[in-house]
Amino acid sequence: MTRWGMVIDTDRCNGCGACVVACAAENNVPWVGEEQAAKGRVMHWLRLERYVEGDFPNVRVRFLPVLCQHCGAAPCEPVCPVYATYHNEEGLNAMVYSRCIGTRFCGNNCPYTVRTFNWFDPEWPEPLDRQLNPEVSRRPAGVMEKCTFCIQRIHEARDRAAGEERELADGDVRPACAQSCPTRAIAFGDRDDPDSEVSRLAATDRAFRLLDDLGTDPAVTYLRGRALAPETGDGDG
């Protein structure tokens, strides 16, 4: 059985933001404009958190791309009264948009605050409206949404592999964020396959998971940064 997972190397991430843009383009994430963004209504499924480490002059900025962690024990799932968010058999924390009635309980209970809500009907200013992805449904006002691990790409890769009469291989599925990352900081694959890239990376001693002590069992693993410049000697993690 496949169990999808992601590994993000914080040492490689330079905060360019290509993943955020690629995600929005791939998944028809609505554009909200400055005014709404200032009110905390940005719809991005992936955000770059910026942390400054060390004291001047030995400072270093680190970036943490935060997206839905597809928790194994997801706090958002049990609180939804209508099963609009549920766990699928491949470890994805899936959303059924058409089922959602918009109680926003899942958004409150997500410790990572990665769920977004459609406060208005979505809009895309010219020319963004011409590049909507036909593989991804548009979400109406009143519906919660969040990162899906590009489930449409998983389906497509599986279909292609089936057409070629072979098993799905490691690297067949690449979410938009991973594909667009110029430093290859994001790896995606099957956590149940011990030889997959994600399994190998997640087994290193740099691996950590966000807010792991909450027991949410996230499917996203981060690789902590190696030490800073030798003269400071600190900043590990």
- Using CB under 8 A, pick the residue from 209, 214, 228, 232 that binds other proteins: 214
Residue 170 Cβ vs other proteins, minimum distance, rounded to whole Å:
30
Q: Which two tokens stand for residue 2?
A: 């496949």
Q: What amino acid is encoded at 66 in this protein?
A: V
Q: Supply 203's token pair.
A: 């087994």
Q: Supply the DSSP symbol for 175.
A: -
* Cβ pair 113, 144 in contact under 8 A: no
Residue 170 parent element (H or E): none
Judged by CB under 8 A, does residue 15 bind other proteins? no
Candidates 202, 198, 208; CA nearest to 171 is 198
Of 42 and 228, which CB lies nearer to other proteins in the complex structure?
Answer: 42
Q: Are 35 and 129 a contacting pair, CB within 8 Å?
A: no
163: contact with other proteins by CB under 8 A: no
Given the rule CB under 8 A, which of 12-20, 117-125, 155-163, 224-232 is the region that contacts other proteins?
117-125
Interatomic CA distance for residues 148 and 206, integer angstroms: 25
Q: Is 149 in the site for other proteins (CB under 8 A)?
A: no
Least distance to other proteins from the beta carbon of 37, Å?
Answer: 10
Which parts of 20-79 interact with other proteins (CB under 8 A)?
Answer: 36, 39-42, 47, 49-50, 66, 75, 78-79
Report the run of H or E that residue 96 belongs to, with start and end: none
Compare residues 40 and 127 and give the one whose CB is closer to other proteins.
40
User: Which part of the chain contacts other proteins (CB under 8 A), choosing from 4-12, 105-113, 153-161, 217-225?
Assistant: 105-113
- Cα distance between residue 10 and residue 93, in whole Å: 23
Interaction site with other proteins (CB under 8 A): 36, 39-42, 47, 49-50, 66, 75, 78-83, 99-105, 107-109, 111-113, 115-121, 140-144, 210-211, 214
